[in-house]
Each structure stands twice: as C-alpha cells, then as structure tokens.
Amino acid sequence: MFANPSVKYRPFPPVPIVDRRWPSQTITKAPIWCSVDLRDGNQALAVPMNVSQKLEMFDALVKCRFKEIEIGFPAASNTEFTFNRCLIEEGRIPDDVTVQVLVQAREDLIERTFESLVGAKKVIIHMYNSTSPAQRRVVFGKTKEEIVGMARNGAQMIKNRLPRLAGTDVRLQYSPESFSATEVEFAKEISEAVMDVWQPTPERPMILNLPDTVEVAMPNVYADQIEWICRNIKNRESLIISLHTHNDRGTGTAATELGLLAGADRVEGTLFGNGERTGNLDIVTVAMNLFMHGIAPGLDFSRMNDLIGMYERTTGMSVPPRQPYAGELVFTAFSGSHQDAIKKGLNAWEKAGTGAIWDIPYLTIDPHDIGRQYREVIRVNSQSGKGGVAYLLESEYGINLPKDLQREFGPLANDLVDSLGREVTATELRDMFCKEYVDRTTPWALTDLDAEGKPGGTIRCKAAVTHHGTPAEITGEGNGPLAAFVHALTTHSGQPFEITHYSEHALGTGTDAQAIAYIQVKTADGKRGFGAGVDTSIELAGIRAILSALNRTS
C-alpha cells in the first residue's frame, strides 16, 4: 500500500447542491421493491442457476410478496430465454406480479428480448447503457453526444416494437448504468433524451433507475445525486425514481436509505446481498430495518430459515453468520452481561402482556417475527455468565434457578466450559448442573423415608440413610417433613445446620410430573451451599436437596 495514496487515487467530487433537504426527511412508508436475484444475483454466480433452480427461487420470491421481479437477461443465453418462456407458457406468474427483463441499447438484444416476452401479462422492459466518463472513454470510445444517441436509438427500437406485445401491460425502465460515477448534469441529459422518446405521463410513468453501480463515494454523496436529479429533471411527476446500489464500500444499505430520504420511490436488490464483487443491496436488511421501526415493509420474511435454505440450495452461496437479521448468530449473545440484560428484558416484556412495545436490550426485533426461537438468542461459551446459563436451563428444561443459586453455579459452569474451549449445549449444561447439585450421593445418601403425622400437627420422620456407605436408621420430629428430617439428621450426626433458602417448582405437568427443590444450608462453621433434589414427591425432592447441600459443604 502507498504511504501517500493520493498519488494514485482521488476522491469523488461533491455534488453541486447547497440546500440539500434529505437530511431532515424521514422514511414513513415502504418503497416499491424489485428483486434482481434472478438476473443481477444470478450473473454473479460462478455456476449460474439452471431453469429448475430459477423456478424454485422465483416461487420463493413470490411467497415473500415481491410484486416486481427481474427474471433475467433473456438475450444473454438460451437458459435465460428458456426460463422466461417457461414462466409465461406454464402460467407461473401470478396476476399481481410484474416480471422485469434487462437489455442493453442494442437492436439484436432488444429483438430477442421481445421474443421472450410474447404472451406475458405484465412486464417491465429495462434498458440500459453506460454513461460514466471512464465507460465513455475506455469501453466505448465515444463522446457524450454519441452516448446519448445510443440511448435514444435504443429507446426508439423498444418503442417501435411495443405493438408486438399487444395485450401485455408494458412499463419501461431506463438506467444510466454507472450513474454513481457519472456527472449529474449528463445523467439528467441522457435520461431526458430517453424520456423524449418514451413520453411518460403521471398516469403512465416510466421508471428511471439510478444505480450506484460501483460505490465510488460516501452514501451521503449518492443521496445528493438522487436529490439533485429529483429536483432538476423535467417532468418528475412522470417518473418513478429507482435505486440500485452495490456494496463496494460496504455502505449499500446506507446509500439506499439515504437515497429514499432524497426522494426515490423504488428499490432494487437481492436476498442477502448476492451480486457481483461485494454484492448488491441486501433487500432483506432494508425491509427489516423498516419493520423494526414499525413500518410495514410489504415483504414477508417470517420464515427466514426456509428462505436461507432455498437461497443456499439454489445459488450455492452461504449466508454469513453475522448477516443482519438472517445470520445464524445475529440474535445470539455469548457475553454474560448481554445475556443477563436479554433475559431480564424478555421477562419484563412477557409480563407486560399483549400490545407491549418491543424494547429488549441487544435485540432490535423479536426473533419470533422471522421464525426464529428464543433458544437461539442465548448461547454459552467461556465468555458467558450466570444469566445465559440460567436462561438455557429454564428455557430448555424448565429448571428455574434461584438468584443466589445462579450466582453459585454460574462460575462453576464457566470454569467447566472454559476447560472445554468451545460452546456448550443446553443438554451439556443440564448434565453439569445435575452432576454438581442433583446427583450428589456422598457422603450422605437416602435409601428410605417414612413420615407420619402426630397429634398437634407434629410430623414424625423415620429415615434410612448411608454415611460414607455405612447404613443408619434416624428419627426426628418437626412441624413438617423437612423439619423432622433435619432434626433426625442433626441428632444422629451431632453436626447442626440450618436451612437458609428453600424453593421448589414443578418440572412438567400431569400426575407423573417431577418436582425440583432448591435448598441452601448453613453449617455450624459458617459454610453455605446449595443443593437440589428431583422427585415426583415434593417432600422427597426437598430431602434429597438437603442431602445434596450437605454433601457439597462437607
């Protein structure tokens, strides 16, 4: 890399606009969406989709409620042409869906494109030619006037052929390709030349697509370009201004959102940002950004996992684990403090009941809204804390640890996880908990228990226990089974202790459901420790918890 990159690179010049209005605007409704997965996304694949894969993706896009879908470049290959004809001849296009096709301003390509559209109900013919200084100079070797002539001639060729699509609702779209690197004055000139041929009206507007074909500037500059065109082009009311951003600088989403603030009406993009180089705009991200602000996007991504499966199956691409909204880890917290905040936030939101506004730390949307589960939110590794451990045990197994027990078990679990050096599952956490708290049978173990009431409400307890493997019969009395057992045990052992915490809850429903009890004891020498016991009898669960606590503090 150069110590002084200015000897090789230069910044993109600013747009001549001094009273820009877009910074004070607010997005209040969804734009018109157009998926370009089957064309722009497909052409960027090392192995382009075949017809059956394209059909699967088309059906999925329809289920997502896209009403405009760019289905391909029919003049590019037999596969593209065949796919068009398959959709039309087999009646696969819903009546409320408009298919879009792309074509350069060349007569042979335009002719083939029209052949591919015969019999379609609703189509957008999308013509483009490149307009940037580099394209004019290096690729075409033409002057501005000659480039305008190419666009005008292409527009006329399309207009001349429109009678061949009688019975088809045809809309026209023009893109000055590489708009983002084109002088705004020239982009306006060439777009107006096309408008002169097509003669759009407010009742039958044309789409003027202004692509950020290659990101060459910060997204605010793109917004300035869009606003400049919206404010200076003639007959703005006869245009649908469309955005098509790429992600070369990593700001495709920002450029799109700022472009909408600047006056655009429509957005083209792909699922998960598939596309050439660093990809197109991820249309899922922009739609979900609207959703999280309470704006209905008009698209349905409620089955995100199914959509990802389709995408990966048909394209051979994968969705990165950190992809906004869709990635495997985007709703996942490993950090202990994050886990604790999420757990408390979810509990508060659930208590608030129906109609509560979503306001959960670290979660911009409810994972349920896109078909995800809360168990995906909190996962445990060596960076996690008591909150995550407690959440997984409760959400997966109904083990609702008391706060003090969370504080005690959290560090123990963390040490075990750290020694493994990887993420652990809820099952592994449950096994850790049971090994540490439920399955402790040394030195004390219970083999039999009999408790009966006495006059005055006293309970008499008779138990068979072992201590370091030696059996013993113990008896005691108290105002309940637990008190009677404590009396029996302390009388036998001569080692007094007290119960400083007791709680219990069911682990399921029905007559055969087990209960779990949590007991903390304090020994004569001041030691404190928790134990847990599980049994279909709540009394036996509590007694097992007492022995577990004593075993852990002995």
Q: Are residues 423 and 448 in the same domain?
A: no
The enclosing domain of 75 has a CATH number of: 3.20.20.70
How many angstroms separate the CA atoms of 368 and 350, rounded? 13
The pLDDT assigned to 382 comes to 62
Q: Are residues 378 and 464 in the same domain?
A: no
Domain-embedded: residue 281: yes
Written as one letter, the residue type at 503 is S
The pLDDT assigned to 165 comes to 97
DSSP H/E element including 170? strand 169-177
Domain-embedded: residue 323: no
3-state SS class at 325: coil
The pLDDT assigned to 2 comes to 81
CA dihedral of 295, 300, 301, 305, whole degrees rounded to 10: 160
Q: Are residues 484 and 372 in the same domain?
A: no
Residue ranges of E strands in 246-326: 266-269
Total domains in the fold of the chain: 3
Query: Residue 111 corresponds to which tokens in the numbers above?
Result: 């002719």
How many CA atoms does the CB half-sphere of 15 hold within 13 Å? 28
Q: Are residues 457 and 425 in the same domain?
A: no
Q: Which of 435, 459, 476 is the last residue before a domain boundary? A: 435
How many angstroms separate the CA atoms of 170 and 123, rounded? 5
User: pTM for this structure?
Assistant: 0.78
Domain-embedded: residue 4: no
Domain-embedded: residue 392: yes
How many angstroms separate the CA atoms of 4 and 255, rounded? 28
Query: How many residues are there in the chain?
Result: 554
Host domain of residue 405:
336-435
Q: Are residues 143 and 252 in the same domain?
A: yes
> How confident is the model over 472-482, as pLDDT tens digits?
999 999 998 89
The enclosing domain of 508 has a CATH number of: 3.30.160.270
Question: Within the chain, which residues score under 70 in pLDDT?
Answer: 374-379, 381-385, 511
How many angstroms separate the CA atoms of 301 and 286, rounded? 12
Domain-embedded: residue 364: yes
Shortest CA distance to 504 belongs to which of 550, 551, 542?
542
Q: Are residues 342 and 461 in the same domain?
A: no
Q: Are residues 394 and 527 in the same domain?
A: no
Domain-embedded: residue 328: no
Q: Are residues 43 and 188 in the same domain?
A: yes
Domain-embedded: residue 240: yes
Pair 505, 389: CB distance under 8 Å: no
The pLDDT assigned to 374 comes to 66
How many angstroms separate the CA atoms of 104 and 128, rounded? 5
The pLDDT assigned to 329 comes to 87
The pLDDT assigned to 73 comes to 95
How many angstroms separate the CA atoms of 238 and 460, rounded? 92
Q: Which of 435, 458, 476 is the last residue before a domain boundary? A: 435
551: CB partners within 8 A, 6+ apart: 440, 441, 442, 443, 444, 531
How many angstroms separate the CA atoms of 47 and 63, rounded? 25
Written as one letter, the residue type at 479 is N
Shortest CA distance to 462 belongs to which of 444, 475, 448, 472?
475
Q: Are residues 421 and 488 in the same domain?
A: no
Q: Are residues 181 and 116 in the same domain?
A: yes
How many angstroms separate the CA atoms of 397 and 67, rounded? 44
DSSP 8-state secondary structure symbol assigned to residue 158: H
Q: Are residues 463 and 406 in the same domain?
A: no
How many angstroms separate the CA atoms of 502 and 495, rounded? 20
Q: Which of 401, 435, 469 is the last residue before a domain boundary? A: 435
How many angstroms separate the CA atoms of 25 and 159, rounded? 37
Q: Are residues 114 and 146 in the same domain?
A: yes
The pLDDT assigned to 422 comes to 81
Pair 475, 455: CB distance under 8 Å: no
Domain-embedded: residue 18: no
